[in-house]
Structure 1
Amino acid sequence: MHMGSRVFDTPEEAVADVSDGASIAVGGFGLCGIPDSLIRALADSGVGNLEVFSNNCGVDDHGLGILLGARQIRRVTASYVGENKEFARQYLSGELEVELTPQGTLAERLRAGGAGIPAFFTPAGVGSPVADGGLPWRYAADGSVALASPPKETRVFGDKRYVLELGITADFALVHALRGDTAGNLVFDKSALNFNPLAAMAGKVTIAQVEELVPAGTIDPAQVHLPGVFVQRIVETGPQNKRIEKRTVSSTEGATR
């Protein structure tokens, strides 16, 4: 770490105080805009029993899937988990606790937590197990439900029923940005402007990996996507080695030149 600043020299130094049992909000969507260097550093540290808030849990060999495969995650709150076979295996065998939540609800829970809003009402999930309870959070080894979601408070506003959802705050947040300055101001690239700002807001200690680090004042304030007040640590990791989650190609048969 550079003395007297929030800039760290390596991802390993930036996550060094993440301890067993910590809760972590992680930015990204699929494999887009994920803080891969920080995740790898966390995996190498051997920290365990983690509670993760993220849109999804990566794939089997990349992103949060690395932590999952190493059995370093205890609980996941996510909205989509369909690309990770190990995730499904751990969940169905009772090794992993999972809270599935609608994607928009997850986004707003992170934003609300970061804005100091403890809870909010939303129509998403009303009339389903999301509101009524009974979703399997954890299975037993024999396939029975060991822990189910509790029912949530609902209330009518006007002529419509809404369900109460709690804001999310986490001990740490890990995010990826295209550019950041030494004051922590961040700029995200295209679709990486997904869950990254929301996760950053929800973290008590937010750690940002950036492809390019520039001096404070270099970024036009009008171009800043997330102000530095939300970022406590920043580390330059260089251009990201982007993975394509699903490659789709079209046939050229019958194509004209």
Structure 2
Amino acid sequence: MRKLSTAETLAAQIQDGATIAISGNGGGMVEADHIMAAIEARFLQTGHPRDLTLIHSLGIGDRDSKGTNRFAHAEMLKRIIAGHFTWSPKMQELVKSNAIEAYCFPGGVIQALLREIGAGRPGLFTHVGLGSFVDPRNGGGKSNECTTEDLVELIEIDGETKLRYRPFKVDYAILRGTYADPRGNVSLEEEAIDMDSYSMALAAHNSGGKVFVQVRDVLEAGTIEPRKVKLPGILVDGIVEHREQPQTYLGGYDLTISGQHRRLSSNDAIELVSHPVRRLIARRAARELAAGASTNFGFGIPGGIPGVALREGVPYQSLWLSVEQGVHNGMMLDDALFGCARNADAIIPSLDQFEFYSGGGIDITFLGMGEMDQYGNVNVSHLNGNLIGPGGFLEIAQNARKVVFCGTFDAKGSKIDVTPDGLHIAQSGQIPKLVT
């Protein structure tokens, strides 16, 4: 097979100064960590590749060593353009210390921009980000002092102000699938989500770059059904077979998450909602659910609402649920596995989901809040000196018909007692969330 290679061989091809797009999501979903580990190992041994630009749309990693943590070395990385940072404390520290340039953009914007790059169009034109920290009047997404180049500009189209996110060349895309064949066709059929794999592959290929894909198994030619191919072989330059590849950090492959099987019991989703304060907030939020409404849940406390709603007897089956990773309905999972579900009705590319959201497809969304002022302005991206990133927050909050924010009054050190009679705040936290 001419495209079959090793992670070490592909890592050796990465050039200094390259721009690399990587797909993935927290919890290890579609994370090509075997290839990324080889790139990191080469850097630690040789000092190359160096001065890289890294692009990803949603958070990737385990808050320790995997995912984007593989690139969190000052000389290895020159610049990062990303939508979420909390899964990589090492990367957050590099940004905070001005060791690398950092741009923080909405996750859906990054995905759509990559599609526009792949299609040869002059960047992304959108309303998403107007008035926020991404607006060039408010910093243009630059996230520290050493970041100076403008990547976003204001333009006027038909009398309306829009943002233009400028295109750039993508040299490599590092992706993951389940199966590949000798021609390089790749399926994601047993993965938890699809994410933005195709748009990244298209951007790299049509920029004259290369696409490297990690898969669990390489099959014989003609084995993969055409409808299951997510990356046609014309886009793929290198395949790495990694048979120990897990679906998520939980290990193994759960076919109720990928959609091949259905499980009647929903206890798994309910058990994830264990913290009493989170559970109490989720219970109150669940009272805002309405039958037939297109409903979105954000990361954090809102991620626990589906399980609590089911336990509380809310008519769960009457709702239409979705998350930005591309999942529709099913038992939404929480915490590190936020973004996937058991028994989903549909799993579509994350980019398609974001376009559904940006066009106004959400009736009600439940989102977390880092800070909120008396005017309703909400900050989830820069907290306590750390770069967090909005993920899908901006696409969702700017376009949903109704937004419900879920959170506590403060953080770090708070002591809250929840009893059958009510809630008692025994000690306030050190970091207030309600600010002026």
Aligned match of 1:163: 163
Q: 1:61 aligns with which of 53, 61, 65?
A: 65
Q: Are 2:17 and 1:21 aligned? A: yes
* Offset at residue 69 of structure 1 (A): 4.6
CA displacement 1:114-146 (0-9 Å, x = unmatched): 22223231110123342324246364xxxxx24
The equivalent position to 1:238 in structure 2, one of 240, 243, 255, is: 243
Shift in alpha-carbon separation, 1:48–1:106, aligned structure 2, 3 A: same
- Uncovered stretches (5+) of structure 1, i.e. residues with no partner: 140-144
Distance 1:201 1:29 in 2: 19
User: Partners in 1 of 2:133 and 2:273 — Cα distance?
Assistant: 40
Residues 101 and 146 in structure 2, CA contact (< 8 A), matched pair in contact too: no
Which residue identity lines up with residue 233 of structure 1 in the other structure? Answer: G
Aligned residues: 242
Give the deviation of 1:156 after TM superposition. Answer: 2.7
Root-mean-square deviation over aligned CA pairs? 2.6
Quick one: distance in 2 between partners of 1:96 and 1:243?
Answer: 28
Matched to 1:53, the amino acid is I
Residues 1:76 and 2:70 aligned together: no
Residue 199, structure 1, aligned to residue 203, structure 2: no
In the TM superposition, 1:212-231 aligns within 5 A as 212-231=217-236
Which of structures 1 and 2 has the larger relative contact order (alpha carbons within 8 angstroms, sep 6+)?
Answer: 1
Secondary structure, aligned partner of 1:33: coil
Query: Which of the pair has more CA radius of gyration?
Result: 2
* Partner Cα separation in structure 2 for residue 187 and residue 161 of structure 1: 40
1:53-101 CA distances to partner (integer Å, 9 max, x unpaired)?
1123533311120221575222111011123222222111110211111
- Aligned match of 1:142: none
Task: Output the CA distance in 1 between the equivalents of 2:22 and 2:161.
Answer: 31
Unmatched segments (≥5 aa) in structure 2: 44-48, 251-268, 277-310, 312-436
TM normalised by structure 2 equals 0.51
Q: Tell me, what secondary structure is at the counterpart of 1:152?
A: strand
Q: Which of 41-50 and 215-224 deviates more?
A: 215-224
Q: Of the candidates 24, 31, 34, which is equivalent to residue 37 of structure 1?
A: 34
Q: Is the 8 A contact 2:104 2:143 kept in 1?
A: no
Contact 2:181/2:222, CA 8 A, preserved across alignment: yes
Whichever residue aligns with residue 162 of structure 2, its letter is Y
Match of 1:100 among 99, 104, 122: 104
Paired amino acid for 2:68: L
Give distance in 2, aligned partners of 1:235 and 1:90: 30
Q: Percent identity of the aligned residues? A: 25
Cα distance between partner residues in 1 of 2:42 and 2:201: 22
Q: CA separation in 1, counterparts of 2:99 and 2:149?
A: 17
User: Within 2, Cα distance between the matches of 1:214 and 1:18?
Assistant: 27
Cα distance in structure 2, aligned partners of 1:60 and 1:149: 30
1:124 to 119, 124, 128: 128
Q: 2:53 is matched with which residue?
A: 51
CA shift, 1:250, in A, is 4.4
- Give, in angstroms, the shift of residue 22 of structure 1: 1.3
Using the TM superposition, give the Cα deviation of residue 213 of structure 1 relative to its aligned residue in structure 2, in angstroms.
0.8
TM superposition shift of 1:16: 1.5
SS in 2 for 1:86: helix
